[in-house]
Amino acid sequence: MGNVAAADLSKIVKAYDVRGVVPDQWDEGLSELFGAAFVRVTGADAIVVGHDMRPSSPGLSAAFARGAARQGADVTLIGLCSTDQLYYASGHLGLPGAMFTASHNPAQYNGIKLCRAGAAPVGQDTGLADIRALVESWSAAGTAPKPAPAGSAEGTVTERDTLEDYASHLLSLVDLAGMRPLKVVVDAGNGMGGHTVPSVFGRLPVTLVPLYFELDGTFPNHEANPLDPANLVDLQARVRAEGADLGLAFDGDADRCFVVDERGEGVSPSAITALVARRELAKHPGGTVIHNLITSWSVPEVVREHGGEPVRTRVGHSFIKEEMARTGAIFGGEHSAHYYFRDFWNADTGMLAALHVLAALGEQERPLSELVAEYDRYAASGEINSEVDDQAARAAAVRAAFAGRDDVTTDDLDGLTVAAGDWWFNLRASNTEPLLRLNVEARDAATMAKIRDEVLALVRGGA
């Protein structure tokens, strides 16, 4: 049984996953209850479980497996894996899955990403709230869940290695036959990229320069969060020192991939989204491509230019995956470097996006900076966070300031988006912190800076 009070579940069961400090907020006893509840809610007779390199991951995942098996489900343990490797196993085996990871969070954190068979996401509205309710009831009562129904046996727990099959599947989805030799620096950030990259890249004409491939959930070199520019500094320096063709950075559970060109300059995830969309549309003419509302204008432009249908969504993987399923989209991309593929059960895989970049670069002779220039058409601010006392009041002040202007449109799909002919911005409130997040894009840098500074003055200027 868990030692953590039921009331604390409100702090660790998030919108799309479970995440918190171990053992203060959750422990192996509570993980066992989550395993039992997962089987009860999904009705699964078999599941697959994997984990990252965090010190607490083996124990937590084993406890989850015990809880699931005691409810009669057969459990396949795939051991150390990336999150997209767990999605592969869920899709290939046709089983609900549980991935133990806290992604890019610090070492004391851990979490569970859950999916139904075929890597379909589990969130608050698709089972996670029911799982939480069951765990709370058992924890509050201080009793273990009843075992499998009378007459049925406890489930088995077996181990299976899926790494090579995962690599083969990804390599089958991209034409890499005509690729020229490339020198690639990869920063795994001591995360699961150090586990998956050698198996995938080992079959390619790639000279791999590994950076922080040692699996170490204490993250001794830097946070495994490439969204923070500070965590790309080592990669950028190494790309320049090696004269490499490009650099790649993966986050802790290796489901996101960031790209650095031959000059050591970051390539925006919007440019990567546009590049991959073009390649996927060549395979699936006329297909639908999903993009969230703070990706660049260049993404829907490129999609239309190549005969596709762009669909704009809210920020967040659950919204992307819902739209992928609803529209039958072939691909989806986010500004945060999450990339989703119909050929990968609509799930996100940074590794597959990386293979597309290698293929696009390797099939022609130009350097990466020139290759992506056609997809990087506008001046962008990047995401700017402002701590505010009253998110709603500050957003309302911004809305009022722009509402009456000529040729300005607004929408509320996700936060406040304001657009004109030469610029747009989006202002969104964080769900977990007293922050407003601003993204601005314009046709030139001067206009972008002007709009950025005007909005920030309203956000940060007080009443």
Active site residues: 103
Long-range pairs of 11-15 with CB within 8 A, sequence gap ≥ 24: 12/111, 13/128, 13/131, 13/132, 15/123, 15/124, 15/128, 15/316, 15/318, 15/431
225 backbone dihedrals φ, ψ, rounded to 5°: -135, 85
Give the number of other CB atoms < 10 A from CB of residue 383.
15
